[in-house]
Amino acid sequence: MLKGVLYIFLFLVLGEVLVFLCNVPFAGNIVGMVVIFIALKLKLIKLNDVKPASDQFIKYMVLFFVPYGVGLMTFYDILKIHWLAIVVSTVVSTILTLYITGIILQKFGKDE
Amino acid sequence: MNEIYLQPLFGIFITLAAFQLSQIIGGKWKFVLFNPVLLSVVFIMCFLVLFKIDFEAYNVGGQYLGFLLGPTVVALGVLFYEKYDKIRENIIPFVSAVVIGGIMSVISVCTIAITLGASEPIIRSIAPKSVTTPIALEITKIIGGVPYISAGIVIAVGIFGNAFGPVILRALGIKNKNAIGAALGTAAHGIGTARALEEGKLPGAYAGLAMCINGLLTAIITPHIVNLVI
């Protein structure tokens, strides 16, 4: 478990360092995600070493978003003025995005 | 003793307590608004407003839980590795779905906001609404939006997708779990991915990969689309 946590943090650091060195507008954690996938694929690290830790992180993913959600309370003033355009455009666009992505994969993808 | 809420313990404890309570409520009554993230956020906000505690005081502890999101996104890479063979069978329809959905996300949010008379800084701030916060912030800086507004919109979109995404998709006739996963990751980034994981590990892997592809895509196309429509 501890070994897995160490690996995950190692790849997070690696992702952040890569973003910093390449000076690209991207998220270090997503780069870390791609790099750990490549490392597993190339057998540089073993699945059994990271899986116990990664499963635990993934299990509680929703919880880690809660503080960011609470942060929305500081947006009250902006939303008060522009609420109609913001709410309508983001809600309609989000539903449209969900539907288009979902329908294409459902229609053309293979069933499991 | 009066300043107990200025310690990290306060934010962490109240978040865990609100989350636990929300899970109990959500488990007991199957109702779309009883969603763990939505309920937890509302509970904590009410508590802070009621006791006149600033968000900054809450976030002294809250940020520690938020920080754990970084390693969790890395952990999704391990999940892809496990599900790689299954996703590969579907790779062309999957990537097409994410790319078309991602492009439509930016175009539709901009055109609707323009139609409703939104100001230019607002349009530039909400354009990258479907991608994960760190990527959205970088895009906003490049296209001249307000990062603070983007950060809020991105989280609100994520919570919306997490709470209502699967219900909306099923009502629109999308029953395939992998399609639901890909849609959640594309439209509602990490918070949508968290919901997809509740549908199953494979839909969760689809969602995480969709979030990754759409993040990359949106970073590339948003400046061009915004220049075209504004």
**So what's the ipTM on this one?**
0.91
CA distance B176 to chain A (A): 6
Q: Which residue of B has its CA nearest to A9?
A: B71
Residue reference for tokens 């329908």: A103
Q: How many angstroms separate the CA atoms of B36 and B42, rounded?
A: 10
CB-CB neighbors (< 8 A) of A8 in chain B:
71, 74-75
Q: Which tens digits make up the pLDDT trace of B70-102?
A: 999 999 999 999 999 989 999 999 999 999 999
- 8 Å CB contact between B101 and B187: yes
Among candidates A15, A57, A92 on the partner chain, residue whose Cβ is nearest the Cβ of B75: A57
Q: Collapsing DSSP states into helix, strand and coil, what is residue B132?
A: coil
- 8 Å CB contact between B65 and A64: yes
Res. B2 pLDDT band, cuts 50 70 90? low
DSSP string, B183-201: HHHHHHHHHHHHHHHHH-H
Inter-chain touch A66–B156, beta carbons under 8 Å: no
| Residue B138 contacts A, CB cutoff 8 Å | yes
- 8 Å CB contact between A19 and A31: yes
Inter-chain touch A36–B97, beta carbons under 8 Å: no
Tokens matching residue A109 = 């993808």
CB-CB neighbors (< 8 A) of B109 in chain A:
89-90, 93
Q: Residue A110 gets which letter from DSSP?
A: P
How far does CA B135 lie from the centroid of its chain?
12
Give percent helix, percent strand, percent coil of chain A, each to the nearest 5. 85, 0, 15
**What proportion of chain B, given as a percentage, has pLDDT over 90?**
78
The residues of chain A scoring below 50 in pLDDT are none
H/E element, B51 = none
Interface probe for B, chosen from A72, A87, A94, A110 (most Cβ of B below 10 Å), is A94
| Residue B136 contacts A, CB cutoff 8 Å | no
CA angle A80, A85, A90 (to 5 degrees): 105
Res. B138 pLDDT band, cuts 50 70 90? confident
Query: Does position B1 have pLDDT exceeding 70, yes or no?
Result: no
Tokens matching residue A112 = 């499991």
Inter-chain touch A11–B77, beta carbons under 8 Å: yes
Among candidates A30, A50, A95 on the partner chain, residue whose Cβ is nearest the Cβ of B215: A30
- 8 Å CB contact between B38 and A70: no
| Residue A1 contacts B, CB cutoff 8 Å | no
Query: Does position B185 have pLDDT exceeding 50, yes or no?
Result: yes
* Whole-number average pLDDT of chain B: 93
Interface probe for A, chosen from B65, B72, B142, B162 (most Cβ of A below 10 Å), is B72
